[in-house]
Structure 1
Amino acid sequence: MLAILADADRTLTAQDLAKELATRERERPITDVSGDLVTEIYGLLHHVHLPALAAANVVDYDHERGRVERTGETPELDAIVAACMQLEPASPS
């Protein structure tokens, strides 16, 4: 998730983040991913993961508007995300 936010380099909606996570999980384009999976991921993001990351000051999450972005520069976290990105396959288009 943090790699997606780093790649985006902009504010995303929680829905767009859920779609991107679903495509990476299934390794398929969004047109081949079930809406149920996106809805499930969105629910987990909205109720669990994004509030926890916001509380840890890793992301800014506006739950009313559904917008999320990484917080300012965090060199240690950036190094971890960069290492993880080397391990992850690229997202299908």
Structure 2
Amino acid sequence: MALKIEEPSQVDPELMQVLAPPRRRRIVSVLEDIDALSTESLAASVLADEATAAATIVTDDRRRRMHSSLVHADLPALDDAGVLEYDRSSGWVAARSGPAARSARRIVSATDDDDRATLEALAHERRQALLACVVSKGPCDLERAARRVAARERDCEAAAVPSDAADDVATSLHHVHLPKLGAADLLHYDPEEKVVVSVDDLPSAVTALLSPAGTESA
């Protein structure tokens, strides 16, 4: 079965970056079942999940470190991204229901703890567009990949992309985006031959997040 990816993902790349750490996705998951919690209760729930997954013992020191991580790093980041509401003065955390919160739940449902590298690799619109192009259209050289990506970004035909614009995209793909996707095993790229090839089996998270209809074809 081959994955169909006709358009880049509608999931905000910046939100993928925010939710790349597994702990933040655990926070979203906990708040799906409980609308509001104190930071202490939330820390206890998330720590219990992590301890169960890692088969470790929950200690007072780990509780303190978990709570500190949540209030100083994870909750402010999720609040700023619109995923949840964090009241620093009262120490309460509440679920939200807006677009960012819905997208966050979609990301959480499609991923697991091992998908951090995948989310970080997809946390850029250009990388999403590149992956979509290669998966849907097949292997190609760097020049053709750059022109296709530039065409998506400009919403025009590939032939209408100015040469200097295509060159700029090719440079960024070669030095930044293709190495990132390659490190996450989402694409194969030969920097000597400058040929881009899709991998045989994309992670299920990519299938769920980048296929708008969630469809597959033979």
| TM exceeding 0.5 | yes
CA distance in 1, matches of 2:173, 2:183: 13
User: What is the CA-CA distance between 1:53 and the residue it aligns to?
Assistant: 0.9
The corresponding residue for 1:7 is: 136
CA distance in 2, matches of 1:76, 1:28: 29
The corresponding residue for 1:26 is: 154
2:173 is the alignment partner of 1:45? yes
The one-character-per-residue Cα deviations of 1:41-83 (angstroms, maximum 9, x if unpaired) are 0000000000111111111110101111221212221221203
CA distance in 2, matches of 1:37, 1:84: 31
Structure of larger gyration radius: 2
Q: Which has the higher contact order (CA 8 A, sep 6+)?
A: 1
Secondary structure of the residue that 1:5 maps to in structure 2? helix
Secondary structure of the residue that 2:201 maps to in structure 1? coil
What's the C-alpha RMSD, in Å, of the aligned pairs?
1.8
CA distance in 2, matches of 1:22, 1:31: 10
Structure 2's unaligned 5+ residue stretches are 1-129
Moved runs in structure 1, 4+ residues, more than 3 A? none
CA distance in 2, matches of 1:27, 1:56: 27
Question: How many pairs were matched up?
Answer: 84
Secondary structure of the residue that 2:188 maps to in structure 1? strand
TM-score (norm 2): 0.36
The corresponding residue for 2:86 is: none
CA distance in 2, matches of 1:58, 1:33: 26
Structure 1's unaligned 5+ residue stretches are 86-93
CA distance in 1, matches of 2:213, 2:152: 14
The corresponding residue for 2:206 is: 77
Secondary structure of the residue that 2:192 maps to in structure 1? coil
Aligned partner letter, 2:191: H
Is the CA contact 1:22–1:38 (under 8 Å) kept in the aligned structure 2? Answer: yes
CA distance in 1, matches of 2:173, 2:199: 17
CA distance in 1, matches of 2:212, 2:149: 18
